[in-house]
């Protein structure tokens, strides 16, 4: 088991510097353009694929880093470049995590490569869980999956929303209700292969931030997928639901995690790392501006009101990174989140990103309020971290219920 350390080894430093160079040289120069266009930055994704950043191999190497710091380190550097473009690069990873968390070895080997494509023909994937009436309240999900035993097919019907890469993805991972009487325990995840009839893109959202990342509804109308597309397989699903029914009849007992919950738990520290990257970028812009901007004959950093804000910003960013790295290390080394440390990391880092980017605008004054300076875009982008993959309110609920010993519903 790897010991927790804040010292990156030589290999990790090399990867960090490589990612930082790509973020500085490729992502940042393109950030303003794709934010204005509100389109998927395919050329940048292809550039990332050509050098190996957008690939299954790269994320697998970071995922299996024995210290647990590979993924958060990578997320921080890419999102330091730009949140919208970075999310377009890493958005496929949420669908991949869904397959890794719930799929069989055969499913992992079959579908994850198809999510990325190759450098000459890049693909993206989408994880579809949220619905118009069921965001954080996964127990209210309405998308249904009905098994057709005669054909060994599952038939999916419903509408998903807020899906990153929804509708444009090569592979969609869809969470659906199999047994509505079991609430969230009656859910399962399904692979929808490319060009499957009945799946279509609904509304594409015009967003406040992360505009370079495609977000849309996914409509499922009598979508038929083979039985082999049920993640984990039917035997495992039947066994899990049988246990859930037994516990329900017995009046409770040990909780059973559903597929969507497992995916979110695995990804929350990574989202925290994204927030740290955006916060750090805004802090660095504000620091440089405060050093060079003069008022009344001296740099504004000489003013205590500005200097103290920068001191608080840096302190909060470092604290957020510590929480993210701790949670990532715990997850990798198999330590139980007894105090919801994963949710803690996401909560604190996302709130820090919103606060720090706002302070950066304040330090830049009128300039910070214009699109001539990147902190305006960073502030818009930071708003998403307290919303997606569990709002700040949901994180507080998870933490509170974990501390109290009450069930997390």
CB 201 within 8 A of CB 216: yes
Token pair, residue 22, equals: 């790509």
- CA-CA-CA-CA torsion for 348, 351, 357, 360, nearest 10 degrees? -70
Question: Which of helix, strand or coil describes residue 31?
Answer: helix
Helix extents (H) in 117-257: 234-249
**Any residues with CB less than 8 A from the CB of 253 and at least 6 apart, and which?**
247
Instruction: Write the DSSP assignment of 282-320 as a string of letters.
Output: HHHHHHHHHHH-EETTEEGGGSHHHHHHHHHHHHHHHHH
Chain center to CA of 363? 29
Determine the Cα–Cα distance for residues 36 and 28; give it in Å rounded to an integer: 14
Distances (CA, A) of 139 to 90, 184, 258: 27, 4, 10
DSSP for residue 25: I
The answer to whether 217 is a known catalytic residue is no
Q: Which of 33, 284, 389, 393 is catalytic?
A: 389
Catalytic residues: 389
């Amino acid at each position: 088991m790897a010991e927790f350390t804040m010292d990156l080894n030589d290999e990790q430093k090399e990867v960090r510097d490589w990612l930082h160079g790509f973020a500085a040289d490729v992502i940042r120069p393109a950030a303003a353009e794709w934010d204005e266009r509100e389109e998927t930055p395919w050329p940048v994704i292809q550039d990332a694929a050509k050098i190996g950043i957008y690939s299954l191999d790269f994320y697998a190497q970071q995922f299996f880093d024995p210290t647990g710091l590979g993924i958060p380190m990578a997320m921080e550097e890419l999102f330091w470049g730009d949140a919208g473009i970075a999310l377009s690069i890493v958005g496929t990873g949420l669908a991949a995590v869904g397959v890794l968390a719930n799929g069989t070895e055969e499913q992992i080997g079959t579908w994850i490569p198809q999510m990325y494509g190759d450098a000459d023909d890049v693909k993206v994937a989408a994880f579809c869980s949220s619905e118009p009436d069921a965001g954080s309240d996964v127990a209210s999900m309405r998308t249904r999956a009905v098994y057709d035993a005669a054909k060994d097919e599952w038939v999916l019907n419903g509408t998903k929303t807020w899906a990153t890469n929804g509708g444009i993805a090569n592979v969609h991972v869809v969470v659906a209700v199999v047994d509505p009487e079991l609430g969230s325990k009656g859910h399962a995840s399904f692979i929808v292969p490319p060009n499957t009839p009945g799946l279509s893109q609904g509304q594409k959202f015009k967003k406040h931030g992360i505009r370079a990342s495609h977000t849309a509804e996914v409509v499922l109308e009598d979508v038929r997928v083979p039985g082999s597309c049920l993640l984990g397989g039917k035997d495992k699903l039947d066994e899990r639901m049988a246990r859930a029914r037994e516990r329900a009849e017995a009046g409770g007992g040990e909780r059973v995690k559903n597929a969507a919950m497992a995916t979110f738990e695995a990804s929350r520290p990574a989202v925290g790392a994204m927030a740290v990257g955006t916060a750090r970028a805004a802090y660095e812009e504000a620091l440089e501006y405060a050093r060079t901007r003069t008022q009344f004959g001296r740099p504004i950093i000489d003013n205590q009101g500005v200097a103290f804000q920068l001191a608080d910003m840096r302190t909060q960013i470092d604290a957020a990174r510590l929480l993210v790295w701790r949670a990532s290390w715990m997850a990798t080394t198999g330590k139980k989140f007894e105090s919801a440390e994963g949710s803690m990391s996401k909560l604190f880092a996302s709130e820090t990103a919103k606060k720090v980017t706002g302070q950066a605008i304040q330090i830049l004054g009128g300039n910070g309020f214009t699109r001539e300076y990147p902190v305006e875009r960073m502030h818009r982008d930071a708003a998403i971290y307290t919303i997606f993959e569990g709002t700040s309110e949901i994180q507080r609920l998870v933490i509170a219920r974990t501390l109290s010993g009450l069930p997390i519903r």
